[in-house]
Amino acid sequence: MKHIILCFISFFIVSLTLNSHAADDHEQVSLQLLWKHQFQFAGYYIAKEKGFYDTEKLNVDIREYQKGINVVKTILDKEADFAVGRSSILANKGNGAPIIALYAAFQKSPLMLLTRGDIRSPAELKGKRMMLTNDAVDVAEIQAMLIKAGVFKDDYIHQDHTFNILDLINGNTDVMGAYVSNEPFQMSYLNQPYSIIHPEDYGFNMYSDILFTHKQMSTENPELTKKFFEASVKGWIYAFDHIEETAKIIFEKYNTQNRTLDALIYEGEALKKLSLIGGIPFGSINQGRLEAMASVYLISGHLNNQYEISDFIYSGNSSAESKPNHDLLWQLAAFVMFVIGYLLYRNIMESKRNLQLVVIAEHDQLTKLFNRHKLIDSLSEYINLSARYQWKLSCIFIDIDNFKNVNDIFGHNMGDLLLKEFAKLLTEHTRRTDIIGRWGGEEFVIILPETSVLTAEEIATKLCETVFNTQFCVDQQISCSLGVTQYRKDETNEEFIGRADDALYIAKHAGKNRTAVL
């Protein structure tokens, strides 16, 4: 009996040793994802869970996106062996980054604009609030679609993306950058109407979720690159052939976002439609289409004129096509001509308007700030927006203390120069979203959209201190008094601005060089 036990122990040790040697034979590989775990990366989970990587003797570490990670930088710095990137990696490549695209998981980008159903086309986005990521290169197809519709950056209100669908539902924004595979499910689940504005419908069809690596990896480790490529493709094909099974695996093992199983299944079905299109093999990349995509980044200013992307596609991708797609190139040429023509026309017309209308009708000739007429128009517009979307709206009324003494002692020319310097200071020490104008004489008004009275008071207090500590053009201490107030429901322009003026009056009579709130 003792002999049998010793044999069993010896067999167990030998098995462990063999397994250890087998594990040692596996190459360590890291994959950086561009977002949190979800069906968007299903092929990689399946390749790992179903043993496709193991068959190729690869031990793959799948790394979830963490805030602050630059996916391209992880490859360039060799912190990861492979990564999944957006179509914007094409701009990185064109600008000199030594990277290679193995395949595109999605033939069509899931990125689109989502509305509550009241806005259905890009042309309707003028004057609307839009949540987009701050990195414009990541949403170049969105920007190109807007340009084609005649909507430029100054024509809408950009908001930082909160990635919270409730901000759209609750009216905190009008439009949100979203994925066709995710947010529509949430809207339907919450019984909310919605509309999708997709760049593809306006001629901008971009690849998405491109698997890429460092050029050095593909040249120095061609066998490893090939193994990872083939196993990953196999994982994706299985995932799309078994969506419910794949969704369950993600739900049980990779569900860091706590998504429902139904949501993951919906995502899988939506992404399959973007990946497997018209008999095109999974992962196909067409050189002509890449050239068309590159032109979008060229027009949007994210790609230099001497870009080079001819060696971007991985040579081991047999489904890749090097022949240009002439239909796409003709569409691109037409779009480029449209943009050039439109921009020329727009520049000519805007030049005339700037000379004849904007400068004269809306701006104060001395300080170049908005004049009183424009301020009143802006105030009416933002009061309407405040009432519609339950925004907080505040106003600061400013008066330069003892300005008459400046004119009397130093003359009106120096007084005018002081007003210019004061206006410049206001512009430099306020936010881009604030509307600044000269009310008249030495009085100025700042309109602060989506700003509470407490925040407005903080801004006013800092302005007061900055003015007092600034050396202006005259040899005299310059200070100012400021009145602050917040818009109240159903009041008129006159009541709103009048209360700010009353607060200014209190500050003046309390000793000047201070802020008062009403």
Q: Is the pLDDT of residue 335 over 80?
A: no
For 340-351, what is each residue's pLDDT tens digit? 555 545 554 544
* Nearest residue to 272 via CA among 35, 39, 101: 39
* Domains of the chain: residue spans and CATH: 23-109+206-286+302-320 (3.40.190.10), 111-202 (3.40.190.10), 372-517 (3.30.70.270)
pLDDT recorded at residue 354: 39
Tokens of 147: 């340009």
Q: Is the pLDDT of residue 338 over 70?
A: no
Q: Where are the alpha helices (DSSP H) in 316-371?
A: 326-353
- End-to-end Cα, the chain, rounded Å: 95
Q: Is the pLDDT of residue 12 over 80?
A: no
Amino acid in position 200: E
Please count the residues of the chain: 518
For 77-101, what is each residue's pLDDT tens digit? 999 999 999 999 999 999 999 999 9
* Residue 190: pLDDT band with limits 50, 70, 90: very high
* Nearest residue to 216 via CA among 99, 317, 314, 310: 99
Q: Across residues 308-333, what is the average pLDDT?
A: 69
Pair 33, 63: CB distance under 8 Å: yes
Place of tokens 């989502």: 114
Tokens of 351: 């030049």
Tell me the C-alpha to C-alpha distance, in Å, between residue 373 and each of 360, 361, 364: 11, 8, 10
Determine what percent of the chain is predicted with pLDDT higher than 70.
86
3-state secondary structure of 120: coil
For 92-150, what is each residue's pLDDT tens digit? 999 999 999 999 999 999 999 999 999 999 999 999 999 988 765 567 788 888 877 88
The kind and range of the H/E element at 414 are helix 412-428
Tokens of 139: 């949403």
For 484-502, what is each residue's pLDDT tens digit? 999 998 888 899 999 999 9
Place of tokens 């695996």: 249
For 448-497, what is each residue's pLDDT tens digit? 998 999 999 999 999 999 999 999 999 999 999 999 999 998 888 899 99
Kindly report the average pLDDT of the chain as a whole number: 87
Place of tokens 């004049």: 371
- The answer to whether the Cα torsion of 262, 265, 266, 267 is positive or negative is positive
